[in-house]
Structure 1
Amino acid sequence: MVVEKIHRPRPEHKLPNVLSKEEIKLILEALTNIKHKTMLSLIYSCGLRRSELLHLKPTDIDSKRNLIFIKQSKGKKDRIVPLSLKILEMLREYYKLYHPKVWLFEGQKTENLYSEKSLQSVLKQALSKAKIIKPVTLHWLRHSYATHLLENGTDLRYIQELLGHNSSKTTEIYTHVSTKHSAYKKSI
């Protein structure tokens, strides 16, 4: 048998799942715990991956320049993302209440990482309170961030940089789910 002649199935190309701005607002408003609200708000407003959020340290927040430093993320890459004033204020309020030592969001025991399972549970509770029945995952918040930026006219190359994508092809997938770009395609 010749290895080169073995048929390999084509990889699936699925479109990302995206929430509307109204659904994002309902999810975030459903949260009453400041820690939980800050965590999900940061994922959405900065387009963070779950592991990027959980590995943030207080020193990764540059409040003078409104930036977050994401270190050694997927592909062992560093990147910088902008931080809105509204989220910065939320972070300050959270910090005053929790005084994190090692990780920005610590688990039950100080200096332990907040667990991925607990974070997913926070989202699940928010979805229940917001009466959203879609099978939403944390990554949907990142997809929604990218799509909403695109719909607001943000340059695709800049979105690629914010998300930390190596290839523009990875970022271009959002043009297929953007309402702005879908309407454009229909008019052609």
Structure 2
Amino acid sequence: MRDLPRELFQNSHSAISTISHPASTDMALALRMRNLAAAMPGHIKYLLPVEVSALIACARHLKQRMFLDTLWNTGARLNEALALAPKDFRLQPDAEPAARRGRLEILSHYQANVTLITLKARSLSSGRGKGRVPTAEREKITQATRIVPLLDPDYARRMDEYLQTFHRGEKHTQLWPVSSRQTAANWINAAVEEAARAGVRFSVPVTCHTLRHSYAMHLKMNGLDDKTLMALMGHKYAKSLQVYTKVFALDVLSGSTLRFTQSGEDAVAELRAMQRS
């Protein structure tokens, strides 16, 4: 299990605590930045929180809504979300037996968290039964696993109610046992179509990965530092965050005017004054 570093959470706790209080509530500014990114080749496509909420509300069934809600609240990759089971959610930390708290102690100041691991890594782990997992495979499992705090208490409450209602007593049952990744894409397409019937259209293509990008941009726009964001997203290299920081570069420069030159006479006079002083 690859727990996030203890010092990472300690140093970033104040930043994470402010996520629910956006640095800017200017919707026009947020839309401008998003539309700039969408129009530029190679830039990411993401939704604003209000758009994600509308998308989730338009999903046809509760199971589908909770799936989209989970992508949005965790930044999970599609295969990580599809692999989730009730045992992966820690929604009431204080209810955990003391003997099981060891490696999760670093998250004790969070209300809830979820363990994300890829389907491939899970198959490596479960395929061995009770036998010992070889070192090489164990390393792959460790690298593919991360714990993500659930920063929105409303989502944690919704997931807790969902699990208590439909998966009570279950631990290892896959929450969304679909036979194809296309099924998840179909859920999103159906939600987009339902939104269109309600008069809501999205200006960027909406996929499962769009919600992962939206999660990252929501955290980034609220001031989360790159080191913490990289850990939450499961990125191995800092350069993976460049797709998000490039969006901010576009916004900073858009509509701005900077003075790069001045008249030659003024420049000469200013330099002479500086040299005399």
**TM, length-normalised to structure 1:** 0.79
Matched with 2:148 is 81
1:30 and 1:72 map into 2 onto residues whose CA distance is 27
Residue 117 (str. 1) matches residue 182 (str. 2): yes
1:98 to 155, 166, 171: 166
Q: Secondary structure at the match of 1:14?
A: coil
2:213 and 2:173 map into 1 onto residues whose CA distance is 25
Residue 127 (str. 1) matches residue 192 (str. 2): yes
Q: Which runs of 5+ in 2 are unaligned?
A: 1-40, 94-111, 122-139, 259-277
Q: Which moved more, 1:23-32 or 1:144-153?
A: 23-32
Code of the aligned partner of 1:80: I
2:205 and 2:117 map into 1 onto residues whose CA distance is 30
The 1:93/1:33 distance shift into structure 2, 3 A limit, reads farther
User: Higher Cα Rg: structure 1 or 2?
Assistant: 2
1:184 and 1:116 map into 2 onto residues whose CA distance is 37
Q: Secondary structure at the match of 1:69?
A: strand
Q: Is the 8 A contact 2:73 2:215 kept in 1?
A: yes
2:182 and 2:162 map into 1 onto residues whose CA distance is 21
Which one has more relative contact order, counting CA pairs under 8 Å at least 6 apart? 2
Taking only aligned residues, the RMSD between alpha carbons, in angstroms, comes to: 2.4
The 1:79/1:42 distance shift into structure 2, 3 A limit, reads same
Q: Is the 8 A contact 1:156 1:172 kept in 2?
A: no
2:59 to 22, 25, 31: 31
Q: Which moved more, 1:33-42 or 1:161-170?
A: 33-42
Taking every aligned residue pair, what percent have the same amino acid on both sides? 27
Q: Which runs of 5+ in 1 are unaligned?
A: 1-12, 108-112
Q: Is the 8 A contact 1:105 1:114 kept in 2?
A: no
The 1:121/1:67 distance shift into structure 2, 3 A limit, reads same
Q: Is the 8 A contact 1:55 1:103 kept in 2?
A: no
**TM, length-normalised to structure 2:** 0.55
Matched with 1:173 is 243
Matched with 1:43 is 71
Q: Is the 8 A contact 1:18 1:177 kept in 2?
A: no
